Amino acid sequence: MTENTTAFSAIEWTDAGLRLLDQRRLPGEDVYLTIEDAPAAADAITKMVVRGAPAIGITAAYGVVLSARQHYREASHDWLSRVEGDMNLLAAARPTAVNLVWAIEQMRACLRVTPVEPVEVLLAVAARIHREDIEANIRMGAYGENLINKGDSVLTYCNAGSLATGGYGTALGVIRSAWSAGKLEKIYACETRPWLQGARLTAWELIHDRIPVTLITDNSAAFLMQGGQLQWVITGADRVAANGDVINKIGTYQLAVSCRYHGVRMMVVAPLSTLDMAMPAGDQVTIEQRPDNEVLELAGQRVAAAGAAGWNPAFDVTPAALVDCLVTEAGVVHAPDREKLLSLSNAQQPDG
C-alpha cells in the first residue's frame, strides 16, 4: 500500500475482513469495526460508518471481495449470481456518489474474466483501487498547492480528507500540501450540519496531524469572506457532471455563491473517478434524501419544536460557472466546462 502520509488509516484490509474506523464515533472515540460480508459493508456505507465518495467506492470494492470469499467458499453453483446480488446491494447503499458505482464496475469487469480462483484476483483489484486513490490524492495535493500563494487563508467544508478517501485526502490533501510548504496563514472549517463532518471529522483529522484549524458555524462563512480574511474555499466532490457542475455536500452551493460575490476563489478537488461524463448536467443527478430526524435532532436529542417537519437533502449542485478550478490527478482545469472535461476524459482513456 502506498504511504498515505497521515497518522491513521480509516480503511484497512485484514484476513478477518475489512477494518473501518467508525466515523460516527469521532471525535470522542477511535472505534474500529471489522466488516465480514457485503451486506455489512453496504450497511456501513448507508449508516455513514464510512463516508466520502472515494472511501465509499473503496469500501464497496472490498465488499465485493468479501462477497466472493463468502459465496465461493460455500462452493455454491450459483456463487456468481449471489455476488451479483451483493454488488447491486452495495450500489444502492448511497446512490449519489459516482465513485461507488465506478468501483463496483471495476470489480464486475474483473469477475467477467477472472480465473477459477476469484478471491485473490478481486482482492488485488480492490487493493489497486485503494492504492491508486492515495497516489491520486498526493498528486492533487501538489497541483492544488501550486495555486495557493504564501499568506493565503482557506476555508474547507464537510470532510474531504483521509477519512473520506483512501488516504491523504482531496481538499485536505491540498491543504496538507500547502501547509507543509509554509504557504497558509490560516485554515478554517465549517461545522457542516446536520452530521457535523467539519466539526467532528475535519477538525479531528487536522489536529491529529498537528495542523491548526479554526472552526466556524456554517452561517459565518459569508461574513468571514466579507471581512477579506479568506482567499480560497476548497472542497471535494461526490460527482462532477459532464458540463462541470459539482455535486457535493449540501451547503457547497451557498459557499460558491458567496465566493463569487466576495471575490474569493472556489477550488474543487476530485479524482477522475468522480467525473461522470454520462451525466450531462448536475440537475439530472438523483439527490439522496436522508431522514428528517437528522435535522430535527442533534446527537440523538431532539432540538426542534414538536410538530416541526424537516427537509434533509444530503447534496446540492454547484453550477460550473461558480467553480474557478477543478483539480484532478491529471492536472488543473480552470473554469471547467463540457469541452474541457471531455478533452480531459478522452486524454485518460487507455489505448486500444
Provide the annotated active-site residues: 238
Which of 233, 32, 269, 244 has the alpha carbon at shortest distance from 133?
A: 269
Enter the DSSP assignment of 282. G
Task: Quote the cell numbers at residue 335.
Answer: 473554469
Which of 108, 113, 190, 125 has the alpha carbon at shortest distance from 154?
A: 190
Q: Which amino acid is at 16?
A: A
Task: Quote the cell numbers at residue 334.
Answer: 480552470
Whether the bond between 27 and the residue before it is cis, its omega within 30 degrees of 0, is yes
Distance between CA atoms of 61 and 45, rounded to whole angstroms?
Answer: 12
Four-CA torsion 209, 212, 218, 219, nearest 10 degrees:
180
Task: Quote the cell numbers at residue 151.
Answer: 499568506
Four-CA torsion 274, 277, 282, 286, nearest 10 degrees:
-70
Reduced to 3 states (helix: H, G, I; strand: E, B; else coil), residue 143 is: helix
> Chain centroid to CA 30: how far?
20
Other Cβ atoms less than 10 A from the Cβ of 214: the count is 12
